[in-house]
């Protein structure tokens, strides 16, 4: 099992967000883009400003398959839809399952999931040690 990551797990906020231009219904609009966003907004054509999304680098757990390849089991990343009318305007942790379904994790739920993964890892290590001994 490996954990892949393309940028720091904990983003360091910049003193000021960078400004990026997007096209909304044919009009160029400059919007702030947070330092943790890895999206290339250049030339993005949006129907509404509410469609603008910021995504952070993905953190994935890779699992080996029988064929020797690896596949992602879960992926998490920061996300924000700053002009949305829903509750996802502020940066939040998004978890994507192997089936591709995603959910927003509150800080409490993210901690619960992380604790569950830690327990799972501890049990895996114990089972592995027992299999070597036995």
60-95 confidence digits (pLDDT tens):
888 888 888 887 788 999 999 999 888 778 889 999
Whether 14 has a pLDDT exceeding 60, the answer reads: no
This prediction's pTM: 0.71
Instruction: Grade residue 2 by pLDDT with cuts at 50, 70 and 90.
Output: very low
The secondary structure element, H or E, covering residue 119 is helix 107-133
103: buried, middle or exposed (CB in 10 Å: 19+, 13-18, 0-12)?
A: exposed
């Amino acid at each position: 099992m490996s954990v892949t990551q393309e940028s720091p797990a904990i983003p360091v906020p910049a003193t000021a967000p960078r400004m990026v231009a997007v096209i909304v219904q044919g009009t160029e609009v400059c919007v702030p883009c947070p330092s943790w966003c890895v999206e290339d907004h250049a030339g993005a054509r949006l129907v509404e400003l509410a469609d603008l999304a910021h995504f952070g680098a993905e953190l994935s757990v890779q699992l080996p398959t029988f064929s020797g390849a690896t596949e992602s089991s879960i992926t998490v990343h920061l996300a924000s839809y700053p002009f949305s009318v829903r509750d996802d305007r502020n940066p939040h942790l998004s978890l994507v399952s192997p089936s591709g379904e995603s959910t927003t994790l509150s800080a409490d739920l993210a901690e619960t999931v992380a604790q569950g993964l830690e327990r799972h890892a501890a049990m895996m290590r114990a089972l592995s040690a027992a299999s070597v001994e036995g």
